[in-house]
Amino acid sequence: MKNKVLLFVSCLFIMTHLSAQLHLSFPEARFKTGDNISWKERTFDDNDWKQVKTSIPWERQGYMNYDGYAWYRIHFFLPKTMLDKSYLKEKLNFYVAKIDDADEVYLNGKLIGKTGTFPSDPEGFVSRWEIPRNYIVNLDDPAVLWDEENVLAIRVYDGESSGGIYADIPTLQIYDLIDGLDIDYTALNDYNESEYHIYLRNKLPQTQSGKLQITVEDTQEGKMLQTITEKIEIAPLKVLDKKIAFPGNTRIKINVTYIDDKTSKFKNKEIISYYILTPPVSDFPKINGPKVYGARPGHPFLFTIAASGIYPMTFEAQGLPKGLKLDRKTGIITGKPEKEGDYKVILTAKNEKGAARGELLIRIGDKIALTPPMGWNSWNCWGLKVDQEKMLQSAHIFKEKGLMHYGWSYINLDGGWQDTRDSKGNMLPNKKFPDMKALGDSIHALGLKFGIYTSPGPRDCAGYLGSYQHEKQDVEIFAKWGVDYLKYDWCYYSEVFDREKDTSTSAYMKPYLLMQKHLRELDRDIVYSLCQYGFDDVWRWGAAIGNSWRTTWDITDTWESMSDIGFNQYPYYSYAGPGHWNDPDMLIVGKVGWGEELRNSRLTPDEQYTHITLWSLLASPLLIGCDLSQLEPFTLSLLTNTEVLDVNQDPLGKQAQRLIKDKNIQIWVKELEDGSKAVGIFNLGNVDEVYDLLFSSLGYPVVNEVRDVWRQTDIPNITSSMRLNLPSHGVSFLRIR
């Protein structure tokens, strides 16, 4: 419940932030590692402390590998005029973004809030890394100093992996009448029509009255569709629901402004409609998915032909390696390939509308994951609340909603399943997973693959059991359960690492090499995903050990997080290739929540296009992180655009390079197997831009073909340049030749 309240207050905060009134923001702070309770005092001299950013983990700011205590100190002047401007004159809210892992916050020496617990607390260390912090102080509290310098001191304990304040910029806000009003919305839309409900929620025990203005603009046509201006009154604790409906499927900007009568303060929210660019699926059969697939000889093989169109469908596969057979009704290919070699397989998919052909190169040899793995992982939606039922449900939805018709194939269980070991040392799942073998079997029966998670440490990041000193035994059990993918997450391996006092590259490689050895002893292909957040420049050596390696800390569903991670992948492009990929973390589209209340991704639709485009260009593993049971048309369209996925799955396996960085514009280019190039032109700025793309700047004096990848259409009459309308945080995705 507490979490819900915090989330609620935090949303409110992000929105009031927009009204830019009665608030201060704190993008930087003074910082020091260690712990000393006198650092909470206002008068403490912190002049020699380092200056750091407050929206990104300290590892990114020169404190690589640092776990333990650290303090931030923020100095700010609080003008009395802010108090005078407030109508309610009640409360001050300190929003401290998210903190990895636990914190105590002091205002001028007085404790004003705490989230999680420290190792020295009676209950021991509890991490609450995922919760936005909001600490409220009454305005008449003597700790609040008007017209003077104040100090906010934040004591942080980081248990493992990334540490410190992250995900957003901390702010201070005087809570006023206008903050008692929330603007919120829900959307229902598909290709034909859109219906938005704008909710104005009065959270105060008094009536709110003011002026409401709503504009609805078609941004593609530059046309105003609707303007509403009216006086409104919302009774205490009531909600006003305004319905906005429009036909079709274009990019619409809904601007909502509420001005409160008593203070003339306003709140504003801009909503971009969930416009769908992916064309509707055709009824005709079409073969999708990777064009090349690697497997090892003598190991169980599982590959499902991905084909869209109406079902039922029947399949054929000519030229399969010996030992493999196709189920013609389901398109599932199983068996054990006997001999190494390249097998050019001709696939056919037939339905009542016709037949489609495709080619698949099956490469039986030593390498697997020849294209980036595509699947779903439980973490970004269910967090530790995952269970067997939810896993199975996700697998069924892969089939029912047709995700597997586009090559989505892994169903991966993240942390939260591990319990203890039995007397023989076997790792046991907890009550929520009554039968892992049955789960693996059911996933396989659908033609999908099963992924699991553990840590090389004694415990994983959430404190659940890890595989330390039981590596061989654990993977043997995983193989019995039918596991096809292993995410191996460093977490509390830090304890072992610190004890050994060796920070050489080989010390970082050690736990991952050990697991690699045991994995390779199995008669099973298991995709090996290294997760250690980029320690020791893992991209330099990851390819020798695994199929992918996380390059970053955890992603979250904000523009700051996604863009910071995604656009900082440029130094690693040369390390990616077939069988070994940089992993900038999982997708944050759809309904996410990390085990807390599920919410729509806080990325705007334009930001979501940027996210999927960038991850495709980066040849990243694509792991959907949302609750699949609530998949709506927009998110589904983002995940089932065959031309976008083709860029990600291109057999050449190149990661895009960032070729141009021109103020807010970045251009990333990925070479593709057929000689064409995929080009993402991104606008990272806060305002829409018109950009003239000169193809010569990409090394092409003239171009023969320009294709709009999202819309899957050719753009005619383009030779040397092109004018692009790039929305703020949005993208234009082209394929050129």
Active site (catalytic) residues: 489, 554
Nearer to ligand GAL, 415 or 730 (CB): 415
Nearer to ligand GAL, 179 or 474 (CB): 474
| Strands 548-550, 581-583: pairing kind | parallel
- Helix axis angle for 505-520 and 493-500, nearest 10°, is 130
Give dist(CA 107, CA 145) in Å, integer.
10
Name the token pair of 734: 């082209």
Q: How many CB atoms lie within 10 A of CB 186?
A: 11
Q: What one-letter code names the amino acid at 651? A: P
Angle made by CA atoms 64, 66, 69, in degrees to the nearest 5: 145
CA distance between the termini of the chain: 55
Q: How many CB atoms lie within 10 A of CB 110?
A: 15
Instruction: Say if CB 85 and CB 139 are below 8 A apart.
Output: no
- Using CA atoms, how far residue 120 sits from 107, 125, 361, in Å, is 22, 7, 57
- Using CA atoms, how far residue 426 sits from 216, 332, 629, in Å, is 60, 33, 33
Least gap, CB of 385 to ligand GAL (angstroms): 12
Least gap, CB of 384 to ligand GAL (angstroms): 7
- Helix axis angle for 505-520 and 471-481, nearest 10°, is 40
Nearer to ligand GAL, 414 or 606 (CB): 414
Instruction: Say if CB 296 and CB 366 are below 8 A apart.
Output: yes
Least gap, CB of 55 to ligand GAL (angstroms): 18
Q: DSSP letters along 370-400, please?
A: SS--EEEESHHHHGGG--HHHHHHHHHHHHH
Name the token pair of 265: 């303060």
Instruction: Say if CB 70 and CB 164 are below 8 A apart.
Output: yes
> Which residues lie across from 70 on neighbouring strands?
33, 156
List phi, psi (to 5°) of 204: -100, 155
- Using CA atoms, how far residue 505 sits from 184, 380, 511, 512, in Å, is 49, 30, 11, 12
Interacting residues toward ligand GAL by CB under 6 A: 161, 379, 414-415, 460-462, 489, 491, 531, 554
List phi, psi (to 5°) of 156: -120, 140
Angle made by CA atoms 482, 484, 485, in degrees to the nearest 5: 135
DSSP conformation class of 717: S
What SS3 string covers 195-258?
A: EEEEEEEECCCCCEEEEEEEEEEECCCCEEEEEEEEEEEECCCCEEEEEEEEECCCCEEEEEEE
Decide: helix, strand or coil at residue 188: strand
Least gap, CB of 66 to ligand GAL (angstroms): 16
- Using CA atoms, how far residue 650 sits from 407, 577, 672, in Å, is 13, 10, 6
Least gap, CB of 529 to ligand GAL (angstroms): 10
Nearer to ligand GAL, 363 or 459 (CB): 459
- Name the residue with tokens 């990777």: 290
